[in-house]
């Protein structure tokens, strides 16, 4: 298939050598050679091209092929020792290498939409048509990876100019009607790069969310995924404020507002996460986006939150973590901010049932209390993470049996009391645990 000849051409070979890891640069050249062998033209497209021009590192490998992408993918897997998943209907395939590197290949295509917000009908076409279906001009550029033209930038739609001027410009006037989730992406890119949505594009957004009411045509799961992507941004607060400016959050729930209170909560979440990531103790990975999501939903009732979790089909694990804050987290804030002395076992009993994400939200919300109470709560939560979380006892059920108590429901209570004693410093060694357990058994047996 021949490419469209009208292109703006600049060579990015040097930028690719400077910014891409060596194994990625070698891989792109290998893909280009294979494309030559089968008579196809191959191009890197999308975010990698944009980020190369901006001087950022990016290894998302999206390849568009003028020719047959599945044929090219099949030719590559043998040399790479990789797995191939192909979708013949769409002319796409994904290669997963032994090193867990993912390469997406797609035959150049154009799309049409039978109705607003519907999934597209696909027809194979040229590179220019393929790029014209992208969301914004800054994402609609390509770089050739064929041998003779390796590194040549193809820019049909003035994407380079928009990058230089810091503009987010939509590709065509029906873009947000075809796919309203592009509104989320416009805001993400604008805030991530410090760009500005251009005037005409903003008018199209306001028309789509206003008179056209396009969010009503988008499935809740797609909205969920776009909100999560915003919350994964380095500074989600800016993107959410912008979304509130363009359209209130009624598409999630009519009671959600992004006002000054939510903004303060988000800043507190950011500070809590920064402390967690920098503190020196054994940590587990956290989903930071989920903490922001809980902060966004914190003023909803349990029933409203449950309804949102159902409507937007959150994973069961995420639902349980969000609801854990609603059930226990709010009560924990009050208890942890009390001025009277609280033993470690009490702090542990308040926070251990919560997910780490919910605990960090408790920490964030506690920091917004008046100074003394907030400081007390924060200190106790830090002690939980650094001292009490991970405390275990060596005493087992078999030990209790050897001490003379036949298996019964009392085992659980004995183990709990020994754990409390360990947290509060009353027992330290296994010998201490056995002595204390024996005293508890003696009480039980009279």
User: In the chain, pLDDT over 70 holds for what percent of residues?
Assistant: 94
Q: Tell the CATH superfamily of the 259-391 domain.
A: cca-adding enzyme, domain 2 (1.10.3090.10)
> What pLDDT shows up at residue 117?
57
Mean pLDDT for 429-446 is 88
Q: How confident is the model at residue 6 (pLDDT cuts 50, 70, 90)?
A: very low
Please write the tens of the pLDDT for every residue from 13-36.
999 999 999 999 999 999 999 999
User: In the chain, pLDDT over 90 holds for what percent of residues?
Assistant: 72
Contact 76, 68 (CB under 8 A): no
Q: How confident is the model at residue 210 (pLDDT cuts 50, 70, 90)?
A: confident
Map tokens 């209170």 to a residue. Answer: 261
Q: Report which secondary-structure segment, H or E, holds 43.
A: strand 41-45
Q: What does the mean pLDDT of the chain come to?
A: 90
Please name which of 212, 58, 78, 270 lies closest in space to residue 143, comparing C-alpha atoms.
Answer: 58
Mean pLDDT for 4-16 is 73
For 166-251, CATH number out of 3.60.20.30, 3.40.50.11930, 3.30.360.10, 1.10.110.30 equals: 1.10.110.30
Q: How confident is the model at residue 283 (pLDDT cuts 50, 70, 90)?
A: confident
Read off φ and ψ for residue 344, nearest 5 degrees: -55, -35
> What pLDDT shows up at residue 166?
97
How many Å apart are CA 58 and CA 279, to the nearest integer? 28
Direct distance between the N- and C-terminal alpha carbons of the chain, in angstroms, rounded to an integer: 90
Contact 153, 143 (CB under 8 A): yes
Please write the tens of the pLDDT for every residue from 232-258.
999 999 999 998 888 767 777 788 888
Mean pLDDT for 77-84 is 90
> Any idea which of 5-19, 54-68, 122-136, 294-308 has the lowest mean pLDDT?
5-19
Contact 74, 107 (CB under 8 A): no
How many Å apart are CA 127 and CA 138, to the nearest integer? 16
Three-class SS string for 210-225? CCCCHHHHCCHHHHHH
Mean pLDDT for 116-141 is 85
Please write the tens of the pLDDT for every residue from 393-413.
999 999 988 988 888 888 999
How many Å apart are CA 357 and CA 373, to the nearest integer? 21
Across 265-295, b (16+ Cβ under 10 Å) vs e yields bbebbbebbebbeeeeeeeeebbbbbbbbbb
Contacts for 108 with CB less than 8 Å, ≥ 6 apart = 1, 64, 65, 66, 124, 125, 126, 127, 129, 130
335 burial type by CB count under 10 A (0-12 exposed, 13-18 middle, 19+ buried): middle
151 burial type by CB count under 10 A (0-12 exposed, 13-18 middle, 19+ buried): buried
349: number of Cβ within 10 Å? 17
DSSP helix/strand/coil, 95 = strand
Please write the tens of the pLDDT for every residue from 213-227.
788 888 899 999 999
Contact 65, 81 (CB under 8 A): no
Contact 154, 144 (CB under 8 A): yes
Q: How confident is the model at residue 284 (pLDDT cuts 50, 70, 90)?
A: confident
What is the assigned CATH class of domain 9-162? alpha beta
Alpha-carbon dihedral sign for residues 63, 67, 68, 73: negative
Q: What is the pTM of this model?
A: 0.86
Mean pLDDT for 259-278 is 94
406 burial type by CB count under 10 A (0-12 exposed, 13-18 middle, 19+ buried): exposed
Please write the tens of the pLDDT for every residue from 314-354.
999 999 999 999 999 989 999 999 888 999 999 999 999 99
Residue 148 has pLDDT above 50, yes or no: yes
> What pLDDT shows up at residue 2?
45
DSSP state string for 388-434: ITT------HHHHHHTTPPSSTHHHHHHHHHHHHHHTTS--SHHHHH
> What pLDDT shows up at residue 3?
46
Q: How confident is the model at residue 1 (pLDDT cuts 50, 70, 90)?
A: very low
Please write the tens of the pLDDT for every residue from 57-79.
998 999 999 999 999 999 999 88
Domain spans, the chain: 9-162, 166-251, 259-391, 397-445
Mean pLDDT for 300-311 is 94
Read off φ and ψ for residue 110, nearest 5 degrees: -120, 160
> What pLDDT shows up at residue 445?
75
């Amino acid at each position: 298939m021949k490419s469209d000849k009208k292109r703006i051409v600049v060579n990015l070979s040097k930028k690719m050598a400077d910014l891409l890891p060596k194994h990625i640069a070698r891989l792109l050249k290998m893909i280009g050679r294979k494309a030559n062998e089968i008579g196809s033209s191959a191009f890197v497209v999308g975010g990698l091209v944009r980020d190369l021009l901006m001087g950022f590192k990016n290894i998302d490998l999206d390849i568009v092929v003028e020719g047959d992408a599945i044929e090219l993918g099949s030719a590559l897997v043998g040399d790479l020792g990789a797995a191939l998943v192909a979708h013949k209907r769409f002319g796409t395939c994904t290669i997963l290498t032994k090193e867990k590197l993912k390469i997406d290949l797609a035959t150049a295509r154009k799309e049409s939409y039978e109705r607003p917000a519907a999934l597209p009908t696909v027809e194979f076409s040229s590179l220019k048509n393929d790029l014209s279906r992208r969301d914004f001009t800054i994402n609609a550029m390509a770089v050739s990876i064929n041998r003779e033209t390796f590194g040549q930038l193809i820019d049909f739609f003035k994407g380079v100019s928009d990058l230089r001027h810091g503009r987010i410009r939509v590709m065509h006037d029906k873009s947000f009607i075809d796919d309203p989730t592009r509104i989320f992406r416009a805001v993400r890119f604008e805030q991530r790069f410090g760009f500005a949505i251009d005037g005409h594009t903003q008018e199209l957004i306001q028309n789509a969310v206003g008179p056209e009411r396009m969010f009503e045509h988008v499935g809740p799961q797609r909205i969920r995924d776009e909100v999560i992507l915003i919350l994964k941004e380095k500074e989600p607060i800016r993107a959410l404020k912008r979304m509130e400016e363009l359209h209130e959050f009624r598409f999630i729930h009519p009671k959600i507002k992004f006002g000054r209170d939510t903004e303060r909560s988000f800043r507190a979440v950011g500070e809590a996460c920064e402390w967690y990531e920098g503190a020196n103790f054994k940590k587990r990975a956290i989903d930071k986006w989920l903490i922001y999501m809980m902060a966004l939903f914190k003023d909803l009732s349990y029933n409203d939150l449950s309804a949102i979790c159902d409507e937007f089909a959150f994973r069961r694990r995420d639902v349980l973590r969000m609801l854990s804050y609603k059930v226990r987290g709010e009560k924990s804030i009050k208890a942890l901010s009390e001025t009277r002395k609280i033993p470690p076992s009490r702090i542990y009993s308040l926070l251990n049932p919560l997910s780490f994400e919910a605990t960090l939200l408790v920490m964030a919300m506690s920091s917004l209390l008046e100074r003394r109470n907030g400081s007390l709560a924060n200190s106790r939560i830090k002690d939980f993470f650094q001292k009490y979380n991970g405390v275990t006892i060596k005493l087992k059920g078999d030990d209790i049996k050897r001490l003379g108590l036949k298996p019964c429901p009392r085992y659980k209570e004995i183990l709990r009391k020994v754990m409390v004693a360990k947290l509060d410093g009353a027992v330290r060694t296994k010998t201490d645990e056995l002595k204390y357990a024996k005293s508890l058994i003696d009480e039980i047996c009279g």
